Amino acid sequence: MSDSKPTFPSTRRQFCAGGVSLAALGSLGLTGCGGGGVDDAGSSISVTESKRSNAIAPAAPRRFVHPGLLHTAADFERMRAKVAANAEPWTGGWKALIANGRSRLNATPRPLETVIRGGAGQNFAQLYIDIARAYQLALRWKVCGDTAYADRAIAFLNAWSSTLTTISGNADRFLAAGIYGYQFANAAEIMRTYAGWAPADVARFQHMMLTVFYPLNHQFLVQHNGAEITSYWAAWDQCTLASILAIGVLCDREDLYHEALNYYMTGPGNGASSQAVYYLHPGHLGQWQESGRDQGHATLGIGLAGAFCEMAWNQGDDMYGYDNNRFLAGAEYVAKSNLRDGAGAFYPVPYTPYQNINACQSAFSSESQGILRPVWEMVHQHYANRRGLAAPCTGAQALQTRPEGDGGNGDQLGFGTLTFTREPMAGSVPSGLSARQTAGKVVLSWWGCAQASSYTVKRATALGGPYKVLASGIGGLLSYTDTSMPAGVVYYVVTAHIAGKESAPSVAARVIAGLAPHTRLNMNEASGTVAADASGNGHAGTLARGATWTAGRTGSAVAFDGAGGHVSLPNNLVADLADFTVATWVYLDAATPWSRVFDFGSGPGHYMMLTPRNNKGVVRFGISTNFPAGEQGISGNAALPVGQWVHVAVTLSGSTGILYVNGAEVGRNTALALAPFRLGPTSQNWLGRSQFPTDASLHGNIDDFRLFHGALGAAELAALMRA
């Protein structure tokens, strides 16, 4: 990858959060779970239906597993046993390793004091070639036991740690520090188990990683080279996160390890989970952040993020399963979009327009489509064979590149066929079932079982049933759209058909179909700090920072002082909303630009908001998962008036959003791809306050604030105003 600077332990922790055609996979058991499973040590692992959580910090000092980056002691035992037994595909992977010139004993180190990537005088190939040699020699030693390979690997590690002082160049120096940082740490992590590596030499190598590589990693993560944060594509963050996490393990630095882990879950950059897998399409196909750019970078990102997830997994943290296997959604999308069908055409994938500060990409990019990278075994082997989940497209990619080599260009370490292949684990129950009402229909998506042939969808109006079969024989894209559901609370389950038998049902997904109250703050309390939720859903608000009671349209209302007063609503308030309506009465004392009627989100990057007056002088609804360039919204034709009660409402049905003032439509957007649930976890759900600290607070009053499941029509809004 080469880019110039853009212009602008026992129980694994869960964070709840030409090619091979797909048709050819049936005989391999890859056509379609993981309602549960076991890890490599036999410990129980829960269903991966997690949601993104807040940043984590351990309760007690962590004891890192060593070796414990891309490979563990158990992994090396498996490799040795399989190669000794001449078992495939491990033997083929071993032959690919020993055939590679970089794994041989005849090379000598070529260390540099200063490595340059980007700009004049580039010499970084010298570094990545020697890293590849150290890593491949280390693998040969661990598999065959010949210490000559260990001694040669140590020679490379020692030569560089006693010489390298600086990584330089243009912005690409951050790529060098990230990609080669995680790779170098992996070579050293293997060799730390070798008695022939002197403790002083180990310490010197760790010092190099902490003083040469990590400072650039940290600098990039917090400053992004001084650029607006969406300027840099996902892979820049992902190589940086991989390096920080790997250095944390190698150097037993818990603070570094959690810096990387926390950023992956909640960070604002494009390499964080929710930004890298930018948009989830039906069937859990996760559009990759760089898929509108080119496929070389999209596949690179899969390799980097996969390495991060694998290293975290080996330390007991399930980033693979985070946010309902969000990374798998992205991997399957990138894999499928780079596969050819039986007729030789690339499989089509859905695409929603993507925009950052530098680019507006309206379509999937075919540049470098079909590129082969040796990164897929790691991803596929985890999901399909370690967890029992269906991952057919990553499986097809793995077949194309088997046995994996190193790719030769320094972008990845490779040799995943040897190092990651494991015996398959059969999934038993579909998992990760989601149900969303959109455009008046319910769209279901789920994760399948690695050995399933088809699936059945069932529906009930009570949890536990009785369930009615809606459709069976479902294969391919694991999604179903229900157009005939009754209004009210509906439950869905999915079963798998494996070897002629039907599985137990998945965990049920609950959805409210049609129109139903979600939140209603009547605001008639007149005293105290609590605005009760009359919907019965427990979404009460809390008055804070000077918000007070005052006279309303009828009864009382909440007064906002323009100086920080606001109402806080519960975390994840809108996580269950796709089609929705928000409606309220507002009395403005001043229409201050960018003040907020409401703003629900987790910070400046993820929010949905309504401002009475934007910088163009009109009322605006906005929603974004990658501010600033990626905001979508609806603008009105004037600011909300001052000195009078005004009813304002926003509705969304499918991709059509409508903005109403006093019951009249003042704005419409028929291409709103974002719905509230796509914001992920929201811990800052406010009336009268913005996610942006420099924005003004609301100066005025709010009365009768309501949220609904479903989109009210104009007549229903008119009736609501009269209620």
pLDDT digits (tens, 9 = 90+) for 654-681: 999 999 999 999 999 999 999 999 999 9
- DSSP 8-state secondary structure symbol assigned to residue 702: E
How much is the pLDDT for 57? 52
* Total count of domains within the chain: 3
| Token pair in block for residue 291 | 């898929």
Burial class (CB in 10 A: 0-12, 13-18, 19+), 314: buried
Residue 287's H or E segment, with its range, is strand 285-288
Please, what is the Cα angle at 711 between 709 and 716, to 5 degrees?
110
* 483 and 526 assigned to the same domain: no
Q: Is the peptide bond before 350 cis (omega within 30 degrees of 0)?
A: no
* 95 and 214 assigned to the same domain: yes
Residues paired with residue 458 on neighbouring β-strands, in sequence order: 469, 493
Q: Is the dihedral of CA 416, 46, 267, 596 positive or negative?
A: positive
Going by C-alpha positions, the residue among 451, 450, 456 that lies closest to residue 433 is 456
Q: Are 435 and 509 in contact (CB under 8 A)?
A: yes
The reply to whether 33 falls in a domain is no
* 188 and 213 assigned to the same domain: yes
The reply to whether 3 falls in a domain is no
Distance CA 82, CA 492 (A): 43
In this predicted model, what pLDDT tens digit does every residue of 689-698 receive, in sequence order? 999 999 999 9
Q: Is the peptide bond before 67 cis (omega within 30 degrees of 0)?
A: yes
* 244 and 392 assigned to the same domain: yes
**Residue 211 belongs to a domain with what CATH number?**
1.50.10.100
Supply the range of the domain harboring residue 343. Answer: 52-420
| Token pair in block for residue 216 | 């650039």
Task: Name the band, by pLDDT with cuts 50, 70 and 90, for residue 42.
Answer: very low
How much is the pLDDT for 35? 33
Chain centre to alpha carbon of residue 205: 32
In this predicted model, what pLDDT tens digit does every residue of 333-350 receive, in sequence order? 999 999 999 999 999 999
The reply to whether 12 falls in a domain is no
Q: For a pLDDT cut of 90, what percent of the chain falls above it?
A: 88
Distance CA 425, CA 447 (A): 15
β pairing state of 541-544 and 509-513: unpaired
Distance CA 177, CA 33 (A): 37
Distance CA 67, CA 123 (A): 30
How much is the pLDDT for 13? 59
pLDDT above 70: residue 23? no
**Residue 527 belongs to a domain with what CATH number?**
2.60.120.200
Residue 219, SS3? Answer: helix
Residue 101's H or E segment, with its range, is none
Last residue of a domain, one of 398, 420, 442: 420
Distance CA 631, CA 612 (A): 17
How much is the pLDDT for 659? 98
* 222 and 297 assigned to the same domain: yes
Residues paired with residue 516 on neighbouring β-strands, in sequence order: 709
Last residue of a domain, one of 461, 486, 513: 513
How much is the pLDDT for 8? 28
pLDDT above 60: residue 11? no
pTM of the model: 0.91
The reply to whether 146 falls in a domain is yes
Q: Is the peptide bond before 466 cis (omega within 30 degrees of 0)?
A: yes
How much is the pLDDT for 14? 58
Residues paired with residue 436 on neighbouring β-strands, in sequence order: 443
Residues paired with residue 530 on neighbouring β-strands, in sequence order: 542
Distance CA 465, CA 451 (A): 27
User: What is the identity of the amino acid at 216?
Assistant: L
Task: Name the band, by pLDDT with cuts 50, 70 and 90, for residue 356.
Answer: confident
User: What is the identity of the amino acid at 662?
Assistant: N
Q: Are 523 and 673 in contact (CB under 8 A)?
A: no
Task: Name the band, by pLDDT with cuts 50, 70 and 90, for residue 5.
Answer: very low
pLDDT above 60: residue 3? no
Rounded to the nearest integer, the mean pLDDT of the chain is 92
* 457 and 525 assigned to the same domain: no
Q: Are 112 and 164 in contact (CB under 8 A)?
A: yes
Going by C-alpha positions, the residue among 339, 333, 325, 335 that lies closest to residue 447 is 325
pLDDT above 50: residue 49? no
* 56 and 85 assigned to the same domain: yes
**Tokens 């996969």 found at:** 306
Task: Name the band, by pLDDT with cuts 50, 70 and 90, for residue 510.
Answer: very high
Mean pLDDT of the 107-124 span: 97
Q: Are 470 and 458 in contact (CB under 8 A)?
A: yes
* 505 and 531 assigned to the same domain: no
Last residue of a domain, one of 387, 420, 453: 420
In this predicted model, what pLDDT tens digit does every residue of 521-558 receive, in sequence order? 999 999 999 999 999 999 999 999 999 999 999 999 99
Q: What is the dihedral of CA 41, 43, 47, 52, to 10 degrees?
A: -80
More confident residue, 49 or 600: 600
* 457 and 570 assigned to the same domain: no
Mean pLDDT of the 175-202 span: 98
How much is the pLDDT for 530? 98
* 82 and 195 assigned to the same domain: yes
Strands (E), 193-264: none
How much is the pLDDT for 15? 56
Going by C-alpha positions, the residue among 206, 209, 208 that lies closest to residue 244 is 209
Burial class (CB in 10 A: 0-12, 13-18, 19+), 23: exposed
Distance CA 649, CA 706 (A): 9
Distance CA 215, CA 222 (A): 11
pLDDT above 80: residue 38? no
The reply to whether 188 falls in a domain is yes
In this predicted model, what pLDDT tens digit does every residue of 583-616 receive, in sequence order? 999 999 998 999 999 999 999 989 999 999 999 9
Distance CA 83, CA 671 (A): 55
In this predicted model, what pLDDT tens digit does every residue of 59-74 receive, in sequence order? 567 899 999 999 999 9
Distance CA 443, CA 572 (A): 21
Distance CA 17, CA 324 (A): 6
SS3 content of the chain, % helix, strand, coil (to 5): 30, 25, 45
* 296 and 242 assigned to the same domain: yes
Q: Are 590 and 234 in contact (CB under 8 A)?
A: no
In residues, how long is the chain?
723
User: What is the identity of the amino acid at 530?
Assistant: V
| Token pair in block for residue 530 | 């609590």
Neighbouring residues of 711: CB distance < 8 A, sequence distance ≥ 6: 579, 580, 581, 651, 652, 653, 658
Strand order in 441-447's β-sheet? 431-438, 441-447, 479-482
The reply to whether 315 falls in a domain is yes
Going by C-alpha positions, the residue among 345, 344, 331 that lies closest to residue 373 is 331
In this predicted model, what pLDDT tens digit does every residue of 371-408 receive, in sequence order? 999 999 999 999 999 999 999 999 999 999 999 999 89
- Inter-CA distances, 699 with 466, 495, 547, Å: 52, 53, 10
User: What is the identity of the amino acid at 436?
Assistant: R
The reply to whether 23 falls in a domain is no
In this predicted model, what pLDDT tens digit does every residue of 629-643 receive, in sequence order? 889 999 999 999 999
How much is the pLDDT for 60? 67
The reply to whether 347 falls in a domain is yes
* 371 and 445 assigned to the same domain: no
| Token pair in block for residue 12 | 């694994």
Task: Name the band, by pLDDT with cuts 50, 70 and 90, for residue 300.
Answer: very high
